[in-house]
Amino acid sequence: MTPLLTALIVGLAIAGIFALRPVTAKIKTVFHSNPVVNTQIKFQSLQLVLTAIVLLLVYFLNPETFARFFRMGNVNVHISKIAWLGVTGNETWLEIATSIGLFITLGTAIFMFFQLKKAGVDYRYFLLSLLWSIPFSMANAFSEEAIFRIGIISPLYGIFSVSVIVLISGVVFGAPHYFGMPSGVVGALMAGFLGWLLALSLVETQGLLIAWAIHFVQDVVIITSMILMSKKKATPK
């Protein structure tokens, strides 16, 4: 029963995230003159409410494992050996977050750079866009880690093997990104790999900090780019 309830909760949460976008568009209150910033203020606020509901439901599914994972965790524990990534198992998760996390961030930045180049943005607004992206990224990373990591791992832990659970988390996280940002097949694959890695970090560190931190940095790159895309260079007359 627990796997079915988990699938239902996470499935409804994902549907809820997509449903928030048209709901956000219908809220006529203007909090900021920039349309992307204005949308983010409303969307992230509503998403946090959705996240709170998901966390409450997941808690009741399995309070013991919820308490195990819904905390900072130990960032100094060693990661399992992952030969195809060149991870020997001698590294701590903190070291992995700063090394592999850097390469993931570079990949995200390169992907977004081509989107920015295509959009012809005005980079004079970069610093302001970056400053706005920080609180949005903090909220978005927390919400998505709560839903896609805690929401999947906490109820299923002890029912399926760790390898199966982290794979589920990766697939469920990657698939919706086909329609998100970064988008398309490449975006979905990038997000899927990230989701798998973050799920593994949650299980092995017994906490959210590493997963949230890596996710937060990716969101800073993505949301900064989204805000910049609303600031295009003036076309010379």
In the chain, the percentage of residues whose pLDDT exceeds 70 is: 96
In the chain, the percentage of residues whose pLDDT exceeds 90 is: 70
In a domain, 148, yes or no: yes
Condensed to tens digits (0 to 9), the pLDDT of residues 50-104 reads 999 999 999 988 899 999 999 999 999 999 999 988 899 999 999 999 998 899 8
Q: What's the rounded Cα separation, in Å, for the pair 78 and 71?
A: 18
User: Residue 1's pLDDT is what?
Assistant: 65
Condensed to tens digits (0 to 9), the pLDDT of residues 134-149 reads 999 999 999 999 999 9
How far lies 57's CA from each of 13, 54, 168, 218, in Å? 11, 5, 19, 27
In a domain, 131, yes or no: yes
Other CB atoms closer than 10 Å to residue 122's CB: what's the count?
13
Best CA proximity match to 16, nearest among 126, 146, 131: 146
Across the chain, what does the average pLDDT equal? 91
Is residue 234 over pLDDT 70?
Answer: no
Condensed to tens digits (0 to 9), the pLDDT of residues 31-50 reads 999 999 999 999 999 999 99
In a domain, 237, yes or no: no
In a domain, 61, yes or no: yes
User: Number of structural domains, the chain?
Assistant: 1
Q: Which residue segment(s) compose the domain that 169 sits in?
A: 2-228
Confidence of residue 176 (pLDDT cuts 50, 70, 90): confident
User: Residue 237's pLDDT is what?
Assistant: 47
In a domain, 206, yes or no: yes
Confidence of residue 235 (pLDDT cuts 50, 70, 90): low
User: Residue 62's pLDDT is what?
Assistant: 87
In a domain, 132, yes or no: yes
In a domain, 184, yes or no: yes
**What mean pLDDT is predicted for residues 190-213?**
95
Question: DSSP string of 139-185?
Answer: HHHHHHHIIIIIHHHHHHBTTB-HHHHHHHHHHHHHGGGGGSSS-HH
Side chain identity at 119, as an amino acid letter? A
User: Residue 6's pLDDT is what?
Assistant: 87
In a domain, 207, yes or no: yes
